[in-house]
């Protein structure tokens, strides 16, 4: 760390927001040993000491996050009011990480590296200048060469009309039951047998033992519900499972933006938006863990490849993002769900009733070939997608 003339602390990199995307990136910087000469400041308004979220993601092989995975499932249930299908996931497994385990794991490593400083401060100002970026917090002022921002500004996506914005919103109860009711070997991925009420609504259940599970009532829709509405539905669902006596040990809730809004257009020469703020959330599902894992690796590669440009001061963060055809597929699905929010159950059911789960995961991971894309898409109801295709093409020609 060095001081400039006005005693504002200067860093090579500052991360504003120290959640998933920032911690993944910083952890990988440490592992790579290529950034040990960089001074890095990571800032967050939260101390990251609470279990504020549960992350799940599917993966084929073990990864660097293996030490913090608390549970893996090889079986997943997909259901609606008419059918149930047990999906065999192998070679994938569905993995669960408790937020607090992830934070502790990364912070323990960070604490051993004196070039990285974490400060529990609220960022109030980010201002890019010609040669550096200025960051103001409620307590201090800093500057850096490059800034990685994961503070999400809701208004960017919500104050525009071109790209539909839905939320994946949910409330979950960690329950402990008296009798053995859960199958700890099978996760309930999506259960659409709940009343749809004109939306896309489903239950998501992560059983960790025969008597313990996280039961989450989830919607993909535009407007949030009142807390009581989510909680009533969880109660009804538990009764349907034959669970009358239970204890709630913890609760979680969230609202994840689902949109194809091009967040990366906010990137500038010295400021790269990462995580949900950078469009790293998969727009059609809300899943962010896997995407952030991939994108943070790409970011490290980008910084290493452009080492000379960085040292010459000509590195441009605007060149980081690459658009893919999967962005367009997500746009079609979101267009349909936005206009016909009740159609989610039919779309996901047609995909999962007969579709190959491994191929669907590969497709959602954006790793399929074009022919494989067609195979997956053809499983969905055709008319809504054709209509959405014409609408999206028409709109993009108009603007």
Among 15, 35, 55, 192, binds ligand FAD (CB under 6 A): 55
Among 214, 358, 380, which residue's Cα sits nearest to residue 284? 380
Residue listed under structure tokens 């239970």: 246
Instruction: Verify binding: residue 65, ligand FAD, rule CB under 6 A.
Output: no
Size of the site for ligand FAD (CB under 6 A): 28
Measured between its terminal Cα atoms, the distance across the chain in Å is 47
Dist. CA 201–CA 274, nearest whole Å: 29
State both tokens at 95: 């993995």
Instruction: Verify binding: residue 150, ligand FAD, rule CB under 6 A.
Output: yes
Binding residues for ligand FAD restricted to 80-139, rule: CB under 6 A: 122-123
Among 56, 110, 336, 347, binds ligand FAD (CB under 6 A): 56
Smallest distance, ligand FAD to C-beta of residue 215, A: 14
Dist. CA 136–CA 120, nearest whole Å: 13
Among 11, 1, 12, 26, which residue's Cα sits nearest to residue 274? 26
Q: What are phi and psi of 295, to 5 degrees?
A: -65, -35
Among 207, 257, 275, 279, binds ligand FAD (CB under 6 A): 275
Residue listed under structure tokens 């491994």: 358
DSSP for 93-124, please give it.
EEEEEEHHHHHHHHHHHHTT-TTEEEE---EE
Stretch that binds ligand FAD, among 72-80, 87-95, 155-163, 282-290 (CB under 6 A): 282-290
Instruction: Verify binding: residue 162, ligand FAD, rule CB under 6 A.
Output: no
Instruction: Verify binding: residue 214, ligand FAD, rule CB under 6 A.
Output: no
Stretch that binds ligand FAD, among 42-50, 217-225, 230-238, 382-390 (CB under 6 A): 42-50
Instruction: Verify binding: residue 144, ligand FAD, rule CB under 6 A.
Output: no
Strand partners of residue 22: none
Q: Please compute Rg for the chain using Cα positions.
A: 22
Among 145, 288, 345, 349, binds ligand FAD (CB under 6 A): 288
Instruction: Verify binding: residue 366, ligand FAD, rule CB under 6 A.
Output: no
Smallest distance, ligand FAD to C-beta of residue 281, A: 6
Instruction: Verify binding: residue 74, ligand FAD, rule CB under 6 A.
Output: no
Dist. CA 345–CA 351, nearest whole Å: 10
Residues that bind ligand FAD (CB under 6 A): 17-22, 43-46, 53-57, 122-123, 150-151, 252, 254, 256, 275-277, 287-289
């Amino acid at each position: 760390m060095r001081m400039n003339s006005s005693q504002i602390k200067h860093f090579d990199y500052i991360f504003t927001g120290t959640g998933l995307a920032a911690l993944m990136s910083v952890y990988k910087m440490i592992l790579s040993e290529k950034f040990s000469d960089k001074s890095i400041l990571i800032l967050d308004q939260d101390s990251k000491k609470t279990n504020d979220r549960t992350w799940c993601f599917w993966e084929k092989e073990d990864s660097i996050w293996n030490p913090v995975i608390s549970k893996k499932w090889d079986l997943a249930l997909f259901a609606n009011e008419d059918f149930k299908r047990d999906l065999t996931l192998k070679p994938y497994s569905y993995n669960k990480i408790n937020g607090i385990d992830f934070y502790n794991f990364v912070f323990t490593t960070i604490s051993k590296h004196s070039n990285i400083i974490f400060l529990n401060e609220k960022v109030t100002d980010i201002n890019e200048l010609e040669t550096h970026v200025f960051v103001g917090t409620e307590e201090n002022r800093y500057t850096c060469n490059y800034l990685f921002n994961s503070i999400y500004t809701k208004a960017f996506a919500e104050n525009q009309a071109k790209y539909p914005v839905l939320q994946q919103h949910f409330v979950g109860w960690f329950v402990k039951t008296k009798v053995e009711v859960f199958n700890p070997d099978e996760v309930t991925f999506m259960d659409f047998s709940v009343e749809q009420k004109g939306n896309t609504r489903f239950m998501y259940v992560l059983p960790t033992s025969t008597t313990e599970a996280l039961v989450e009532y989830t919607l993909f829709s535009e407007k949030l519900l009142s807390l009581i509405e989510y909680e009533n539905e969880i109660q009804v669902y538990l009764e349907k499972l034959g669970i009358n006596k239970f204890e709630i040990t913890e609760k979680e809730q969230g609202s994840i933006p689902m949109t194809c809004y091009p967040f990366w257009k906010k990137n500038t020469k010295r400021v790269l938006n990462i995580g949900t703020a950078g469009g790293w959330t998969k727009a059609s599902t809300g899943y962010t863990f896997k995407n952030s894992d991939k994108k943070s690796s790409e970011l490290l590669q980008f910084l290493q490849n452009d080492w000379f440009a960085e040292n010459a001061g000509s590195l441009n963060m605007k060149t980081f993002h690459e658009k893919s055809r999967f962005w367009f597929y997500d746009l079609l699905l979101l267009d349909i769900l936005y206009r016909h929010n009740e159609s989610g159950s039919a779309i996901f059911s047609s995909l999962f009733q007969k579709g190959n789960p491994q191929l669907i995961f590969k497709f959602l991971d954006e790793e399929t070939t074009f022919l494989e894309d067609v195979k997956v898409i053809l499983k969905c109801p055709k008319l809504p997608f054709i209509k959405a295709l014409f609408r999206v093409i028409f709109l993009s020609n108009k603007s």
